[in-house]
Homo-oligomer: A and B are copies of this chain.
């Protein structure tokens, strides 16, 4: 058995001062009340004993726990979540905070329960992460706990939030195609009602129309955003008269299906068909052959931003909420070429 953890009182005794002095010396608080030589003596004693403050006791007194709650719906089941968590984690750690995680199935009651569990532990603030960028309401359970939305936003802008700039990302990958000379650009997408779908679709429509091309004959919609349905959709699209010279896919998984369809139809990418996509998933986009050009979802940066913003609100509770759009940089690879 190791000897018990030393308390502040032990440090104070070893340095021959009171606990008040020890506390002020170690925390640089209390103004210039502590003499430099005393401060050094306390520091030395603390180091000698291997003193680590008990943040539970400190938190009780200061009403600050240096912990941030991170609640996500289905955090772990989506491959993106990791990057969001890591971004939030890194920003928190740099400021001396730790992340207390709760995962919910997205259910309302469960979310309220999770928030309650975090509040009982007196977290200083909460990051509410929703996978797949949606418009949500801040749950009542939040009460007056400072809170930032991650990959989601409120309709009325009453809370700070950060979401990816889907429109910008779409324009980015489409520019890769138009820049190479494509105008007949197809789109294969899902029918699922997610924000991402709507924005990517609308932006594509607009951009293709701008090129003087009617987008409707170049559109394929399937049930879900799976590889299999991406394959089936592409097979259909590429068999139409006046086949597009390039395809913009809703996401990388569908793009993977498009690759297969192209191969089966004897179309070589990028020579006969250029392909761009969205999400830039590390297991897919660089692994396909040729490497897939894709707009990246900036999950790491969004996670960071959310925590930095939360910390700002902790410092200044009066600060006005901010809605942030995070750019989606294009990962340029080898799936785009000039049309024949």
Chain A contacts to B: CB under 8 angstroms: 1-2, 52-57, 59-60, 65-67, 75-79, 81-83, 85-86, 89-90, 93, 98-103, 116-122, 143-144, 226-228, 231, 253, 256, 260, 263, 281, 283-284, 286-287, 289
On whether the beta carbons of B83 and A82 are closer than 8 Å, the reply is no
Q: Name A's interface SS.
A: mixed
On whether the beta carbons of A253 and B100 are closer than 8 Å, the reply is no
On whether the beta carbons of A103 and B86 are closer than 8 Å, the reply is yes
On whether the beta carbons of B67 and A77 are closer than 8 Å, the reply is no
Other than A53-B120, A100-B101, give 11 A-B pairs with Cβ distance below 8 A. Answer: A2-B144, A52-B116, A56-B59, A57-B60, A77-B86, A79-B283, A82-B82, A89-B101, A98-B100, A227-B286, A281-B283
- Write the chain B residue with the least CB distance to A79: B79
Given contact pairs A76-B85, A76-B89, A100-B100, A56 touches B283 in the complex (Cβ within 8 A)? no
What are the residues of chain B within 8 A of A231 when measuring CB–CB? 289
What are the residues of chain B within 8 A of A1 when measuring CB–CB? 144
> When the two chains form the complex, which single residue of B67, B119, B289 contacts A260, counting CB atoms closer than 8 Å?
B289
> When the two chains form the complex, which single residue of B54, B76, B102, B289 contacts A98, counting CB atoms closer than 8 Å?
B102
Q: List 5 A-B contacts (CB under 8 A).
A: A55-B122, A75-B82, A75-B86, A76-B82, A101-B101
Q: How many protomers of this protein does the assembly include?
A: 2
Given contact pairs A120-B54, A227-B287, A101 touches B102 in the complex (Cβ within 8 A)? no
A128 to B144, CA, bound (A): 34
- Rounded to whole Å, the gap between the CB of A328 and the closest CB of chain B is 19
A53 to B55, CA, bound (A): 18
What are the residues of chain B within 8 A of A67 when measuring CB–CB? 100, 121
- Write the chain B residue with the least CB distance to A282: B79
A226 to B283, CA, bound (A): 10
- Rounded to whole Å, the gap between the CB of A74 and the closest CB of chain B is 9
A144 to B1, CA, bound (A): 7
On whether the beta carbons of B101 and A98 are closer than 8 Å, the reply is yes
What are the residues of chain B within 8 A of A52 when measuring CB–CB? 116, 119-120
A256 to B65, CA, bound (A): 47
- Rounded to whole Å, the gap between the CB of A335 and the closest CB of chain B is 15
A101 to B89, CA, bound (A): 8
What are the residues of chain B within 8 A of A54 when measuring CB–CB? 60, 120, 122
What are the residues of chain B within 8 A of A117 when measuring CB–CB? 98
A102 to B284, CA, bound (A): 27
Given contact pairs A83-B76, A283-B253, A56 touches B98 in the complex (Cβ within 8 A)? no
A77 to B59, CA, bound (A): 32
What are the residues of chain B within 8 A of A103 when measuring CB–CB? 85-86, 89-90
What are the residues of chain B within 8 A of A56 when measuring CB–CB? 56, 59-60, 65, 121-122
What are the residues of chain B within 8 A of A119 when measuring CB–CB? 52
Given contact pairs A56-B60, A56-B122, A122-B54, A89 touches B65 in the complex (Cβ within 8 A)? no
A66 to B57, CA, bound (A): 15
What are the residues of chain B within 8 A of A283 when measuring CB–CB? 79, 253, 281, 283-284
- Rounded to whole Å, the gap between the CB of A94 and the closest CB of chain B is 12
- Write the chain B residue with the least CB distance to A96: B117
On whether the beta carbons of B100 and A118 are closer than 8 Å, the reply is no
